[in-house]
Structure 1
Amino acid sequence: MQPLSGIKVLDFTTLLPGPLAGLVLSEAGAEVTKVERPEGEEIRKYLPRWGAESIQFNLLNSGKKSITADLKSDADRDRIKSLIAGTDILIEQFRPGVMARFGLGYDAVKQIRPDIVYCSITGYGQFGPKAAIAGHDLNYISETGLLSLSFGNADRTVVPPALIADIGGGTMPAVINILLALLRRNASGEGAYIDIAMSDAMFTYAWWAFGLGKALGEWPGNGDHMLSGGSPRYQIFPTRDGRFVAVAALEQKFWDNLCELVGLEERLRDDQADPAATIGALRAIIGNRTAEEWRAVFEGKDCAANVVRTLEEASTDPHFIERGLFDYSIENDAGARAPALVVPVAPQFRSDKSTPRRAPGLGTGNGPDPAASGSSQER
């Protein structure tokens, strides 16, 4: 039996943070029903398509059900309220106050289901001067100062490769706090309202810089500190053939091993004396060999250095294959299969990997009285 078997979730969210949270809960056994506007959420229409829907929609919504509802319709709201009576968790991602205007805010919903766990995900939270401001991941990491720690330079700015705020500030805190609320409910019978602001957790990600600044008054700048590019021990160096080597030799034993392996001059091994000189010397050394040559040098050595792999290369790595990361699959409406999105749920808690999961067709869970078409839900 899966940990969340029997738990029912109503998911009013779109795009990434909330749908990924719903996917994690679904993978652990919860029954997740997406509540979509009559024309469907926008990510269904994204490109490229994989079957009738986008690959993004298929990845994030496999294993869920879908119902449609025009939340401006009294009849549809009544239908949603009837479902809430049997719901354990409600997740929504509208701007603050929108669900309340629909008569589906926490105060109204807990009158129907007093022990419900109600989770709202927004950029800046339900209150505060920024609460109503629109934004996306890049806005949240820039507004909180996280982006200022490493963004390249004026000639070549760098956009982070991960949606840190969406997943690390939205999805993960939502799942963690929903599970904490369920534990408390099991002990006390008490429901919960959870206010998740994607921007809040960005201060967690800036933990080292935040501590230095607040405690010591030493605020790191752009790429100038230990974990953001200011240290030779934590750097990315180009190879002769246009690939890159990632060095994370923070501990002295790893640094000593790395210096020996690459043949760094003794006078430059004290990386505190002149960090720029040590970085320059390592760039020259690593730039003299190809990625494959360095891969052979680092193989089996305790030096915390490796060649930067492409995502395609990493997806065929025997280590990750043996770990079972790609054992689960999804299937589209045409019967084509692809690996499921890797989610942080332990294998013993997940669904049977031998059966591929499908994303729901729009409104396929409506039943005998599907919602009539109408205007879009308010954003």
Structure 2
Amino acid sequence: MTQPLSGLKVLDFSTLLPGPLCSLLLAEAGAEVIKLERPERGDEMRSYEPRAGVDSANFVLLNRGKKSVGIDLKSPDALALLTPVLKEADVLMEQFRPGVMDRLGLGYEALSRINPRLIYCSITGFGQHGPRAKEAAHDLNYVAASGTLSLTAGCDGAPVLPPALIADIAGGAYPAMINILLALRQRDQTGKGMYLDVAMADNLFTLQYWGLGNGALGHWPRTADDLVTGGTPRYQIYRTADNAYLAAAPLEDKFWGNFTALVGLNEEALAGLSPASAIAAVADAIAKHPVAHWEDVFRNQDVCASRVLSLEEARHDAHFNARGLFSRTVTAADGAQMPALPVPLDALFRGPVHSRPAPALGADNHLLNQ
């Protein structure tokens, strides 16, 4: 089957995570992705630790199947060197602060005159305009600014670090991919390219749909107060006797009835308690036995309860391996190999990009001399 993005050429000026993950998804679906990097040093992520050969494991995972061109964008002849590939490009991605690409002569208005069909996607933290548009920030700052971090507070009331780069991925890479595909579809209809402004902080509000809905009715969410922020025994993390943890989410009545019966509690009696007292009663019951006991008790039961796995345990879990999540490998530029990053694309759309290595810096500079 021909891949859906075969024949598409993507110029990726981005670094680190949001843009490179988006262009990895495009490459997995068949696009030719050319990564534009600083000469000598390249994408800063190449230097991260630990290493998978000469480059970091992070870089290898996110940049497999792409091409690399090393070019100094501040050089007087940069635009002239890039013009031939710019004329052929379908998509351009960049991740600089607002105004940087314009100053380099590579802004959308200038490039759309060279290539009117170009889809130009800018990924930034706070967007291209607004009071915070040029503010220096990273994932944690966007999560904080969107109100999301405030809902992670533990028992001492202090927010905790998120376990994933939520803004970079859910607010940046995924929305960029969605909007690029929509823009390509619109170009099919109009023949014209367009400019896309993807703001990571903006897109985090979508994840807070429930909190915004509650807030619109006068009940802004707080930690240990709402359905999914710790305000009910039906959505909690409980410690077991052996200091492991059980994630319990029996929200619906049928699940809650099964859960309470299996832990030896009376559902009606719990209903008469305050939420805090009900949580404490369940916590006491769970704490009487080790996690293996609860796994046996809950096995094949409809209770929505599961042991909290470490990432290492999850990586080797029989279910995910049966689904082939880690069956592919990725090769670094110097031949080092490691399991490839699972990506949310159906296998029908994915080609053999995993068989192509992450590129060495400047390995495809010849593309500018054609």
TM range (shorter): over 0.9
Q: Residues of 2 paired with 1:369 and 1:277: CA distance?
A: 68
Alignment of 1:1-379 (within 5 A): 1-38=2-39, 39-154=41-156, 157-214=159-216, 216-270=217-271, 273-352=273-352, 356-367=355-366
Q: Residues of 2 paired with 1:223 and 1:206: CA distance?
A: 16
Native 8 Å contact 2:150 2:159 kept in 1: no
Residue type of the alignment partner of 1:356: S
Residue type of the alignment partner of 1:360: P
Deviates more, 1:339-348 or 1:317-326: 317-326
Q: CA deviation at 1:22?
A: 0.5
Q: Give per-residue Cα distances to partners, 1:308-337, cap 9 Å, x unaligned.
A: 111111112222112121122101234332
Q: Give per-residue Cα distances to partners, 1:75-127, cap 9 Å, x unaligned.
A: 12211222110000000000001001111111011001101110000000000
SS at match of 1:74: coil
Q: Residues of 2 paired with 1:13 and 1:143: CA distance?
A: 23
Deviates more, 1:146-155 or 1:96-105: 146-155
Q: Residues of 1 paired with 2:140 and 2:155: CA distance?
A: 16
Native 8 Å contact 1:124 1:130 kept in 2: yes
Q: Residues of 2 paired with 1:30 and 1:162: CA distance?
A: 27
Native 8 Å contact 2:241 2:286 kept in 1: yes
More helix per residue? 2
Q: CA deviation at 1:289?
A: 0.8
Native 8 Å contact 2:12 2:93 kept in 1: yes
* Runs of at least 5 residues in structure 2 that lack an aligned partner in the other structure: none
Q: CA deviation at 1:352?
A: 2.8
Q: Residues of 2 paired with 1:235 and 1:153: CA distance?
A: 12
Q: CA deviation at 1:357?
A: 3.1
Q: CA deviation at 1:4?
A: 0.3
Q: CA deviation at 1:267?
A: 4.4
Residue type of the alignment partner of 2:290: T
Native 8 Å contact 1:151 1:159 kept in 2: no
Q: Residues of 1 paired with 2:155 and 2:13: CA distance?
A: 39
Q: Residues of 1 paired with 2:312 and 2:101: CA distance?
A: 41
- What's the TM-score, normalizing by structure 2? 0.96
SS at match of 1:367: helix
Q: Residues of 2 paired with 1:310 and 1:346: CA distance?
A: 26
* Runs of at least 5 residues in structure 1 that lack an aligned partner in the other structure: 371-379
Identity of aligned residues (%): 51
Residue type of the alignment partner of 1:316: H
Residue type of the alignment partner of 1:11: D
Residue type of the alignment partner of 2:94: E
Q: Residues of 2 paired with 1:198 and 1:368: CA distance?
A: 32
Q: Residues of 1 paired with 2:298 and 2:13: CA distance?
A: 48
Residue type of the alignment partner of 1:331: T
Residue type of the alignment partner of 1:152: G
Determine the structure 2 residue equivalent to 1:374: none
Q: CA deviation at 1:74?
A: 1.8
Q: CA deviation at 1:146?
A: 1.1
- What's the TM-score, normalizing by structure 1? 0.94
SS at match of 2:98: coil
Q: Residues of 1 paired with 2:320 and 2:95: CA distance?
A: 33
Q: CA RMSD in A?
A: 1.6
Q: Residues of 1 paired with 2:269 and 2:170: CA distance?
A: 37
Native 8 Å contact 2:151 2:159 kept in 1: no
Q: Residues of 1 paired with 2:235 and 2:245: CA distance?
A: 13
Q: Residues of 2 paired with 1:192 and 1:289: CA distance?
A: 59
Structure 1 stretches of 4+ with a deviation exceeding 6 A read none
Q: Give per-residue Cα distances to partners, 1:3-48, cap 9 Å, x unaligned.
A: 0000000000001000000000000000001000112111101111
